[in-house]
Structure 1
C-alpha cells in the first residue's frame, strides 16, 4: 500500500470507512528479502557498493536486451533526475523552450525547469491524450520563442513510436526525449532517448531509480558523466554535473525483479483482464486502448462521462474504494508552472475533467474487483436517478 499517500486533510475529511476494508488505489509489487539474498551475497563478496559496480552493469545489460537495434541503457538514481540530466546532456541553450504536454505528471515539467529550459505546454491531439509528432509540428509556428527540445509522454505507460519522433527530430532539429515513466512493459525501441522510471509504484521497481535507453553512444557517454560529477574515466570534472548513480543494492532489487518479470507481468495482465470483464457491461466507462490486452502498467485510468468524475469519485470514496487523479488538472495549473507559456489546451482540460484512476495492482483479488465494479456501477446509476 502507499502508506504515505494520504495527507492529514485526507485523514480528517474522508468518510468513516473501515480502513482494513478499503481498497487502496495502488500497492507496489517488489521482490522479497529471500529473492534478493543471492545478489546481496554477491555484493558482500565483491565489496563493491556503488560507482558502476558489477550488479549495476549487469542490470543495465539486461534492461538493454529488452530493446531493439542494440540500444544501450544508463541507470540513474530516479526518473526525474534521468530526464533532467538527459536534457542537460544535450547541451541546449538555457532559457530556450521545451515543448511538452500539460497532460502529464509534474515530474516531466520539473525536469525541464531543472535543466534550465522553459516548459511550453502544448495540447494533446488524440483521444488517448498523447502529444503526437504531427500535432507538435502543427503547433511549432505558434511557439512563443525558440524551441530546442520536446518531451512527449507515454500516457500511463501506453506504447509510443520513437521512430516517428526520430523523423520529427530529423525534420525540425528539435531534440526529443520520451518520458515513458510508466512504460516499462511497452518500451522496446530507442531511436530517440527513452526514459523509464523504476519507482516502487511501477510494474518493475527498485524503490527509487530510472534509466535512459538510447542508440546514441555520444549522448549516453555524456549522460553517464552527468551522473558522476562529469568524470569520464578519470578524476577531471569537465563541466557542472551531479551524483545520480544507482547503487549496487538498488541494482540487486532490479535484477531480482527482472528474474520475476514474466510472472509479474502475467499477474498484472490477469488482474487487468478480470477488471475489464467485471466492468464490460458498465455504460460510460472507457479503458485505455490495449490496456491489459496488448500492454500493461501499474495503473488503471478510465474515462467517465463528462460531468460525472467528481460525484463518482466521492461515491467510490464513501464505498471504501480509493481513487487517484494521477495527473490532476494538468501541469499548467500547478503553481510551479503557471508562469510558463501554454497553447490553448481544450483536450487536456477535457481529459482532466473525465479521467479517474481506479485501484489496480498485481495481486488485486476477485472480491476486490467485484467491489470496485459494483461501486462504480452504483455511482453512475445514482447520477441517472
Structure 2
C-alpha cells in the first residue's frame, strides 16, 4: 500500500513490482510419496547397489519401450555411458571419432576419456543434425583414421537410427547415438543408443543414464565395464571402472516411469500453449515436431540469423532467462582447441540463431504469455523485420 507521511500528508508513489525472474528450465522429478514404496523395498531387501532388484526392474522397463528385443544397461551418468560404449569397442587409441561440434561438450569429453580424438564435422543447416550422408561426404577429408562416430539427437529430436545402422553396415564404422535428451523419441536401438536420465531431462532421476543395444554380448561387456570388468566373479579382465547405478537412483527412476504418461502430457500441454502464443510470430521457429510428435525438457527456437545475441541480452534484462545450451559449438571450447575440424559453416550459423527459452512441465499460462510477449518485443527493439526466421 502507499506510504503516507503523517506530518505532510504526502503520499509516496508505489514502485512497480519487479517480475520474478523466470528460469530457463526447471526439473520435474517424482515426489517423495511416489518414491517411498521403492525405498521401502530397498529397506526390506537390504540390497543397495551392485545390480539389485530395482536396477534390474528399471532396466527391464526401459528395454520394454523399444520396438525390437533390446538390452539396456544403466550407468551412473551419460558422459560415462558414452565413454564406456566407446571403450567396449577396443578401438585404436588416438584414432579419430567423428562428432558434430553442434553438441554439448560431454560428447567430446567422452571421446577424449575413451582415448580417442574428436574430429568435429558439420551438420545440416535446418535441424542441426549430423546425418549419414553428411559424414560420408566428409570422410575423405578426415585428418587420419576415423574409427567411430557419435551422431547426436538435437535436443531430443528423433534421429535416423535405421539410416545410421545402414551406414554402419556399409562402412564398418561403429556408430553410437548420443540421444542424451531423447527419452521420448528414441525407441530403436539398431545402433548403440545412449539416453541421459539427468535431472534436467524429461525423465530424470538426478544423475544416471542408460545404454541400449540389440546385441546381448555387447550389453554384457558394458555391464562388466561398469563393475571393474567383473563377470559374475572378482576377476578384473580388462581396464574398467565403477559406474553402476545404485538402488536409490533406480527407485527414483521407477517412480518417474510410473508417472511418465502424466509428466509427458504436462510437457506436451505446455509446449502447445507456447507454440500457440508464438503462432503469429514468423521470426521464431520451433524444432520440427517439438510438442506435437515428440517432447523434451527444453525449448530451442531458431531466430533470424545474427539476432540471438541482441534477443538474449534483452530477455535477460527483462528477467527472462535464456541459455545457449551448446554455446558456439564444441570446437570453440579451450578443452578441444587442439582437435581438428572440418568446415563448420552450418554450425556457426546455428550458434548465431539458436536460443533456449524458458520451458518446463509446470510452465504456467501467464509465464508462457510473458515469454512470448518479451520475445516479440526483443526482436522489435533490435530492429528485426517481421519476416520468417
TM-score scaled by length of structure 2: 0.93
Question: Residues of 1 paired with 2:241 and 2:19: CA distance?
Answer: 43
Deviation at 1:318, TM superposition (A): 1.1
Partner of 2:387: none
Question: Residues of 2 paired with 1:380 and 1:304: CA distance?
Answer: 9
Q: Deviations over 1:290-325 (max 9, x none)?
A: 000000000000011112111111110111100000
**1:218 lines up with 2:211 in the alignment:** no
Question: Residues of 2 paired with 1:61 and 1:20: CA distance?
Answer: 45
Partner of 1:28: 27
Partner of 2:364: 365
Partner of 2:278: 279
Query: Are the equivalent residues in 2 in contact too, given 1:148–1:173 (CA < 8 A)?
Result: no
Partner of 1:110: 109
Question: Residues of 1 paired with 2:114 and 2:203: CA distance?
Answer: 26
Question: Comparing 171-180 with 19-28, which one deviates more in the overlay?
Answer: 19-28
Partner of 1:64: 63
Partner of 1:344: 343
* 1:318–1:218 Cα change, 3 Å: same
Question: Residues of 2 paired with 1:234 and 1:309: CA distance?
Answer: 55
Partner of 2:245: 246
Query: Are the equivalent residues in 2 in contact too, given 1:157–1:180 (CA < 8 A)?
Result: yes
RMSD: 1.2
Larger radius of gyration: 2
Query: Are the equivalent residues in 1 in contact too, given 2:324–2:354 (CA < 8 A)?
Result: yes
Partner of 2:374: 375
What does 1:81-92 correspond to in 2, within 5 Å? 81-92=80-91
Deviation at 1:20, TM superposition (A): 6.8
Partner of 1:154: 153
Question: Residues of 1 paired with 2:328 and 2:383: CA distance?
Answer: 25
Question: Residues of 2 paired with 1:189 and 1:292: CA distance?
Answer: 20
Query: Are the equivalent residues in 2 in contact too, given 1:99–1:147 (CA < 8 A)?
Result: yes
* 1:125–1:28 Cα change, 3 Å: same
Question: Residues of 2 paired with 1:69 and 1:383: CA distance?
Answer: 50
Question: Residues of 2 paired with 1:133 and 1:72: CA distance?
Answer: 24
**1:181 lines up with 2:180 in the alignment:** yes
Give the count of matched residue pairs.
369
Question: Residues of 1 paired with 2:142 and 2:206: CA distance?
Answer: 38
Deviation at 1:126, TM superposition (A): 4.2
Question: Residues of 2 paired with 1:22 and 1:319: CA distance?
Answer: 8
**Unaligned stretches of 5+ residues in structure 1:** 1-16
> 2:382 aligns to what SS in structure 1?
helix
Deviation at 1:382, TM superposition (A): 1.2
Question: Residues of 2 paired with 1:258 and 1:314: CA distance?
Answer: 38
Q: Deviations over 1:274-300 (max 9, x none)?
A: 000001111210100000000000000
* 1:262–1:323 Cα change, 3 Å: same
Deviation at 1:18, TM superposition (A): 7.7
What does 1:94-173 correspond to in 2, within 5 Å? 94-173=93-172
Q: Deviations over 1:208-231 (max 9, x none)?
A: 000001001111111110000000
Question: Residues of 2 paired with 1:250 and 1:81: CA distance?
Answer: 16
> 2:90 aligns to what SS in structure 1?
coil
**1:292 lines up with 2:281 in the alignment:** no
> 1:195 aligns to what SS in structure 2?
strand
Deviation at 1:163, TM superposition (A): 1.1
* 1:18–1:246 Cα change, 3 Å: farther
Question: Residues of 2 paired with 1:221 and 1:192: CA distance?
Answer: 16
* 1:32–1:18 Cα change, 3 Å: farther
Deviation at 1:384, TM superposition (A): 2.3
What does 1:29-44 correspond to in 2, within 5 Å? 29-44=28-43
> 1:229 aligns to what SS in structure 2?
coil
Deviation at 1:19, TM superposition (A): 8.2
Q: Which runs of 4+ in 1 moved over 3 A?
A: 17-20
